[in-house]
Amino acid sequence: MARAAVENLGSIFVKPAAYADPFEWHAKARRIREESPILKVDVEKYPEFWAVTKHADIMEIERNPEIFTNAPVPTLTPKANMRDMIDAPVKTLIQMDGDEHKAHRNIVNDWFKPGNVRNLQERIDELARRYVDVMADLGGYCDFANDVAVHFPLQVILAILGLPEDDYPRMLKLTQELFGAEDPDIARKGRDEAAVAVLLDLVAYFTNLTLDRRAHPTGDLASVIANAELGGEALPDMDTLGHYVIIATAGHDTTSSVIAGGLLALLENRPQLELLQANPALVHSAVDELIRFVSPVKHFMRTCQQPFTLRGITFQPGELVLLSYASGNRDDEIFADPFHLDVQRENAAGHLAFGFGRHFCLGAHLARLEIRALFTELFGRLEYIELAGEPTWTHANFVQGPKSIPISYRLR
């Protein structure tokens, strides 16, 4: 078969289904890195953009947030939906730049600092134990993605917000629908109606939460958000909503994808799995390698504000630039043998899965703590494990990971 010209490979950054075949996706991304590392992509129904695929180039762009802004569209969006996204009444941190971003990030920043996140250790360990107990109760066979990985991070994030366990099923459905809107198995029927219904559910839920925490502050993260002030004034309702939405959604599918994708990567690299089983203390340093390997946030988008030259290409004002974290994290100029999972990789923490610079993931410490807690508990109790069927992957081009991972196992 004739080899496709590299110019025709750009649709891998756009088509949700392309990410559902990670092996093929990474083979194509590698060719792009080698032959045309900043690639012009023009796919029907989407705005034209530059895909940036090298680790060093992604960092260079993130180092210049005045030139490459998150506003107006921080993720790849079909042309038909761009206006709605720009006019959306609820803005979150990822749509903000400059002083506005700084002021809003400061509201929640302290909550996510390592010192504070460490206070959550006990609760997170307890939840990790609970989910490994769930595996034990399932009697040696489960779908690890759906039975374990999806639930644990949502329990953690909602515990931090201070929400009751009764609300978990509703939040689970909402966050999955927001991120999995392109996946035929997840999306509600009727695209526009679906998006509106998901959003309305969220608005109603969080409006009640704000009213409650303003009347009865409890000291949880929801109380910090509900009672926050900017310039001496209470935060407008839509800004309050933006904070809930980003925290509830950004902390969920991302972490669950690393937990599910991380276990799958280990099952497909058994010597690495055996290393962790023999020495669960290694989980600590393995976490960043698992995050690098899975890279669940496939991209973020920036808009160029003034001419800027990189690798001989001059971006012009108004042009869109897609930062392919998934590609940068397999760049062999940074990571030796990048397609190999190496739980003892020394520079694994240099990955870009949490981004870089001003928008660096607010929940990075928390995510590491969660992943570490679950795998420490699991590998401490696991006697035997193997894949019991074909894994499947969600169809999505923003946050993406395994959809199902059938496993059989024996636990202590």
In whole angstroms, the minimum distance from the beta carbon of 192 to ligand HEM comes to: 26
Q: Cβ distance 76 to 13 under 8 Å?
A: yes
Site for ligand HEM in 306-335 (CB under 6 A): 325
Task: From 1-9, 17-25, 141-149, 294-302, give the range in contact with ligand HEM by CB under 6 A.
Answer: 294-302
Residue (of 321, 288, 322) closest to 304 by Cα position: 321
In whole angstroms, the minimum distance from the beta carbon of 257 to ligand HEM comes to: 7
Site for ligand HEM in 190-219 (CB under 6 A): none
355 vs 402, beta carbon nearer ligand HEM: 355
Among 356, 375, 393, 409, binds ligand HEM (CB under 6 A): 356
Distance, first Cα to last Cα, the chain: 50
367 touching ligand HEM, by CB under 6 A: yes
Among 362, 369, 382, 407, binds ligand HEM (CB under 6 A): 362
CA distance 82 to 180: 18
Task: From 21-29, 144-152, 331-339, 361-369, give the range in contact with ligand HEM by CB under 6 A.
Answer: 361-369
Q: Cβ distance 291 to 258 under 8 Å?
A: yes
What the block records as the tokens of 62 is: 């993130």
Residue (of 362, 354, 299, 302) closest to 106 by Cα position: 362
Three-state SS sequence of 123-142:
HHHHHHHHHHHHHHHCCCEE
Task: From 82-90, 187-195, 203-211, 360-368, give the range in contact with ligand HEM by CB under 6 A.
Answer: 360-368
Residue (of 206, 60, 131, 160) closest to 365 by Cα position: 160
94 touching ligand HEM, by CB under 6 A: yes
In whole angstroms, the minimum distance from the beta carbon of 140 to ligand HEM comes to: 28
DSSP state letters, 234-259? EPPHHHHHHHHHHHHHHTTHHHHHHH
15 vs 105, beta carbon nearer ligand HEM: 105
Task: From 183-191, 208-216, 225-233, 289-297, give the range in contact with ligand HEM by CB under 6 A.
Answer: 289-297
Q: Cβ distance 245 to 225 under 8 Å?
A: no
Among 25, 46, 300, 409, binds ligand HEM (CB under 6 A): 300
Site for ligand HEM in 218-257 (CB under 6 A): 246-247, 250-251, 254-255
Distance set, CA 214 to CA 224, 279, 375, 399 (Å): 10, 47, 38, 32
Among 57, 62, 239, 342, binds ligand HEM (CB under 6 A): 62
Q: Interface with ligand HEM by CB under 6 A: which residues?
A: 62, 93-94, 105, 157, 246-247, 250-251, 254-255, 258, 291, 296-297, 300, 325, 353-357, 359-363, 366-367
